[in-house]
Chains A and B, each alone.
Chain A
Amino acid sequence: DAKTTQPPSMDCAEGRAANLPCNHSTISGNEYVYWYRQIHSQGPQYIIHGLKNNETNEMASLIITEDRKSSTLILPHATLRDTAVYYCIVRVVMNSGGYQKVTFGTGTKLQVIP
């Protein structure tokens, strides 16, 4: 698995965009970038994933650099409920029927400040 590096913590003002960086310099061509978050004392929640194109859904946007060595998760208007630990994970999506388990690093603890 490619390793990921994330800052241990970040603060963001409520209503502003939260930009969470992730480095994955050893990512392979068939590895996707996934983001999950874990609100305190809850199970992780899937946010978004992408291969090389930028992606957007109702929760967030994912910007992947052209060389795919890093990415940024953007929460466009952070709320207090977005306070959580955010995990950046790279993993292979196998078309052959195999499956690569989701494994977690230490993530970034995002604190949204009123």
Chain B
Amino acid sequence: GAVVSQHPSWVICKSGTSVKIECRSLDFQATTMFWYRQFPKQSLMLMATSNEGSKATYEQGVEKDKFLINHASLTLSTLTVTSAHPEDSSFYICSARVYGFLDTQYFGPGTRLTVL
């Protein structure tokens, strides 16, 4: 099956610093990737849709200048949390669209971000 990886799996940073999270499709090309955020005991909330070679589309209420998304290749999308604050601490999950029979998304293992 399609495999999506994320790096790092967890990160701790100081308030005010920026953190980059990588999402890779390992065995397929992903023209469309998605970024979700999940706070403790809550469901996943879609943050943005990332299309290779074009600007990301952000969901309502998500600050595009704070959550920078780059999808420079067919196998890599990155999410940069700029000037992170403790309220940005969350579980960030990426996924990639898989075409064909399923036409759905495969998800990465997630990145736990803790901002001190």
Q: Assess whether A44 is in contact with B103, with CB atoms less than 8 Å apart.
A: no
Please report the total number of B residues contacting A with Cβ < 8 Å.
23
Q: Given the complex of chains A and B, what is the CA–CA distance between A101 and B107 in angstroms? A: 13
- CB A48 to nearest CB in B, in angstroms, measures 10
The size class of the interface chain A forms with chain B is 20 to 34
Q: Assess whether B32 is in contact with A99, with CB atoms less than 8 Å apart.
A: yes
Q: Given the complex of chains A and B, what is the CA–CA distance between A42 and B104 in angstroms? A: 18
- A105 interface residue (CB < 8 Å to B): yes
- B106 interface residue (CB < 8 Å to A): yes
Shortest Cβ distance from B42 into A: residue: A106
Q: Assess whether B93 is in contact with A43, with CB atoms less than 8 Å apart.
A: yes
Q: Which residues of A have CB within 8 Å of B34?
A: 101-102
Selected from B6, B93, B102, the residue in CB contact (under 8 A) with A44 is B93
Q: Which residues of B have CB within 8 Å of A43?
A: 4, 6, 93, 95, 107-110
Of B93, B97, B104, chain A has the most CB atoms within 10 Å of the CB of: B104
- B58 interface residue (CB < 8 Å to A): no
| Docked complex: A91-111 residues within 8 A CB-CB of B | 93-94, 99, 101-107
The SS class assigned to the A binding surface is loop
Selected from B32, B43, B107, the residue in CB contact (under 8 A) with A106 is B43
Q: Assess whether A44 is in contact with B44, with CB atoms less than 8 Å apart.
A: yes
Sample of 8 more A-B contacts, CB < 8 Å, known A99-B32, A101-B49: A38-B44, A41-B91, A41-B110, A43-B108, A43-B110, A44-B95, A49-B102, A99-B103
What residues make up the interface of B, taking CB atoms closer than 8 Å to A? 4, 6, 32, 34, 43-46, 49, 91, 93, 95, 97, 102-110, 112
